[in-house]
Copies of this chain bind each other. A is one copy, B any other.
Amino acid sequence: MDDGKVLITGACGFLGNLLATHLALYHRNLILLDHSPPPSNPVPDAEYVTGDVADAKLLESVITADVHRIYHLAALASSGSEANYELGLRANVDGTRAIIKRCKDMGHCPRLVFSSSVAVYGPLPASIVEGVDGETKFTDTTTAFPQSSYGTQKLISELLINDATRRGFVDGRCLRLPTIVVRPGSPNTAASSFCSSIIREPLKGETAVCPVDPSWPLFMQSPRTVVRNLTHAMSIESLKGNERAITLPGFTTTPKEMVEALGEVGGDTKLVIWERDPVIEKIVYSWPGFVDTPFANSLGFHVDKSMKDIVTAYIEDNKTDVKRLNAK
């Protein structure tokens, strides 16, 4: 593949910015598209474009014949898509469709890595529950029955990319991402917010609430591993077939194990408050905790080794946010 230009959509989001920072080490031709303006500490030598990914006119100037690789990360997240139906469709479906349309018109079939989500799965249909020691097991081929507008819209984008790949408009790779931990920053309104909070806040010397059963299985991937997997998906030469949805091999852990790992690296585990919240439990318990991912495994995707590794990497990557560890 010709080196060419690399486009990232949603490039100013958490994951987009992390990916751009990583790619800037290897590529000089980065185009970073986002509806938000560039951050105060921009990625060096990259071309920032501010605008809407579903804007066909804008894409004409952004996706040119020398753009051979596209990371499509722009999205309205789950709570946002539930709150604003039209905006979710525009961000999560029309954006994908506009990219495909432009690639079709260009006729140069770039590689397209799309950030999908395990939110495409709803609860397992009763007919295909496989009990494994009481665990509910999802596999690559479990039928996706999304139970949110976000999951629905991500699955629609996957289907559009599958079809566009079959037709030769793009060479798509749709990664179904697990929950990402530990996210830096502040708690947000996502039901999954506690997954990062119960590590991040105690490392700041602050309390955090775990609203679910301490032994509930959670399916996760660290930010470092997600970036490795996004670039790995782009690098695969030999991906065959039209079904381009790949469920990533996450790491199954529990809140109890997470807090134990916090303790192992010197964090104050007493700052985690165990206070179950039935509303959050209902949402979290509908997510796949255990997933078999033979397809991703056969393609060499990466998985985190232990919760302690994830916490250690978070501390290395976010030194200014970790206040109380060294003081301990």
If the complex has contacts A89-B97, A97-B89, A242-B147, are A139 and B127 also in contact, measured as CB distance less than 8 A?
yes
Binds B, one of A111-119, A156-164, A310-318: A156-164
A64 within 8 A of B: no
Question: Which of chain B's residues have a CB closer than 8 A to the CB of A127?
Answer: 139-141
Q: Assuming A127-B139, A127-B141, A242-B147, is B155 touching A85 (CB within 8 A)?
A: no
**Is A152's CB within 8 Å of the partner chain B?**
yes
Beta-carbon nearest neighbor of A159 in chain B: B152
Whole-angstrom CA separation of A149 from B166 in the bound complex:
9
Residues in A167-206 with C-beta less than 8 Å from chain B: 167
Q: Whose C-beta in chain B lies nearest to the C-beta of A139?
A: B127
The reply to whether the CB of A257 lies closer than 8 angstroms to some CB of chain B is no
Tally of this chain's copies = 2
Contact with B along A79-103 (1 / 0, CB 8 A): 0000001100100000001000100
With both chains docked as a complex, state the minimum distance between the C-beta of A123 and any C-beta of chain B, in angstroms: 10
Cβ of A101 to closest chain B Cβ, rounded Å? 8
**Minimum distance in angstroms from A165 CB to a CB of chain B:** 11
- On chain B, the residues within 8 Å of A143 by CB distance are 141-144
The smallest beta-carbon distance between A190 and chain B, in angstroms, is: 19
Whether the pair A163, B146 counts as a contact (CB closer than 8 A) is yes
Interface size on A, as a range, is 20 to 34
Bound Cα distance from A125 to B294, whole angstroms = 14
Q: Which residues of B contact A142 (CB under 8 A)?
A: 143
B141 near A163 with CB under 8 A, answer: no
Q: A85-B167, A128-B141, A139-B127 are in contact. Are A152 and B160 (CB under 8 A)?
A: yes
Chain A residues 116-145 with CB under 8 Å of chain B are 125, 127-128, 139-145
Q: Is the CB of A152 within 8 A of B163?
A: yes
Closest to A156 in B: B156
Interface contact A160-B156, CB-CB below 8 Å: yes
- The reply to whether the CB of A104 lies closer than 8 angstroms to some CB of chain B is yes
B85→A104 contact, CB < 8 A: yes
Q: Which residues of B contact A166 (CB under 8 A)?
A: 147
- Tell me the complex Cα distance, A154–B327, Å: 59
CA distance A104 to B88 in the complex (A): 15
Are A149 and B167 in touch, CB under 8 angstroms? yes
A101–B127 alpha-carbon span in the complex (Å): 33
Can you sample 14 A-B contacts with CB below 8 Å?
A89-B97, A125-B141, A127-B139, A128-B141, A143-B143, A143-B144, A146-B159, A146-B162, A147-B166, A149-B163, A149-B167, A152-B162, A155-B159, A159-B159
* Extra inter-chain contacts (11) besides given A145-B243, A155-B159, CB under 8 Å: A85-B104, A86-B101, A127-B140, A127-B141, A145-B162, A146-B163, A147-B166, A149-B163, A149-B167, A152-B162, A156-B156
